[in-house]
A and B are shown apart, each in its own frame.
Chain A
Amino acid sequence: MENNFSAENSLRLIAETIERSRRTIAKNSGKPLILWGSLVALTAVVIYILWSLTGSPAWNFLWFAMSAVGAVAMRSMMRNSEKVPDTEISRTLGKIWMWFGIFSTGFFALVWAAWGVRCAVGIEGPLRVDLTLVILLMMGLCGTLSGAVLKFKPITVSSVVATALSALFLMVMPDGSPVRILTFAILGAFALIVPGVILQKQVK
């Protein structure tokens, strides 16, 4: 390789190498978005159908099955995809979504426990917690933060728009109706799948 290159060329090489490396890492972030977006949208539709047919909200436990399937699929995807180094960006993204998982699972468990306690002590009336809205807002926030960390506007914009649209959809739908679960299908499609596909196509 040529040794006598100019100062401008050296700086250009540094900038280009760092940018290429960033794009490789960004490209690899697209696949998990598509995977989780598809799983979320599909699970929401399946739960909606089963809940509508049976009238039982217990089908919401399928979210746990979705998490397990997603984790296995992620492992397989990571094994087969291009090996990229860990960076501050990839670590931050991992932490954002890890805390989303912990908070949403924890909150779900908390609501379930609260419902159990209320039943045990004989408190009547419905438990007034909009679990769907809380998880939706957390997911929208994590998506927006991911876009900001990756410096990739389509993710930031689509997360904000999808969160606003799905929150609006949720608020106009009747309380307790299975149709409310379709909010996650909207969010999965527009906040995860669409930016994931854009990321895959643009970062080449």
Chain B
Amino acid sequence: MPENEKTFKPLDPLLHSELRLAVMSILIGADSADFVYLKAETGATSGNLSVQLDKLQQAGYIEVTKGFKGKVPQTVCRITEHGRDAFAAYVEALRSYISAGNR
């Protein structure tokens, strides 16, 4: 087996996207976050954010709950255990790339 295959762990393609990674980074430290907050923190457009949230939800990384707060519609996102594990594995893989680069 080549040396780099032993050293480098595969990067999760679902997380290796700027916006999806930013969303997961926010959700990893919060109980939950609503769509408006995620949009403000990431600077993404509503359309793009919706698409990326949908991808994360389909992968089982986040749960999306749609409801109302008073009369205002509210979309709340929450990271799942599977999402936490995937995020941890992704960070671990990044570390392997960086430590290999520093050798």
Interface residues in chain A, defined as those with a beta carbon under 8 Å from any beta carbon in chain B: 1-3, 5, 7-8, 10-11, 13-14, 17-18, 20-22, 24, 82-88, 91
**A58 and B27 alpha carbons, distance in the complex (Å):** 49
Contact at A21–B29, with CB atoms within 8 Å? Answer: yes
**A159 and B60 alpha carbons, distance in the complex (Å):** 44
Q: Chain A contact residues: over half helix, strand or loop, or mixed?
A: helix
Contacting residues, chain B, for A5 (C-beta < 8 A): 16, 18
Contacting residues, chain B, for A11 (C-beta < 8 A): 91, 94-95, 98
Q: Assuming A11-B98, A85-B33, is B28 touching A1 (CB within 8 A)?
A: no
Q: Assuming A7-B101, A17-B26, A18-B25, is B31 touching A1 (CB within 8 A)?
A: no
29 A-B interface contacts by CB (under 8 A): A1-B44, A1-B48, A3-B16, A7-B11, A7-B94, A7-B97, A10-B16, A10-B21, A10-B94, A11-B94, A11-B95, A13-B21, A14-B21, A14-B25, A14-B91, A17-B22, A17-B42, A20-B41, A21-B25, A21-B30, A21-B41, A83-B36, A84-B37, A85-B31, A85-B32, A85-B33, A85-B37, A86-B31, A88-B29
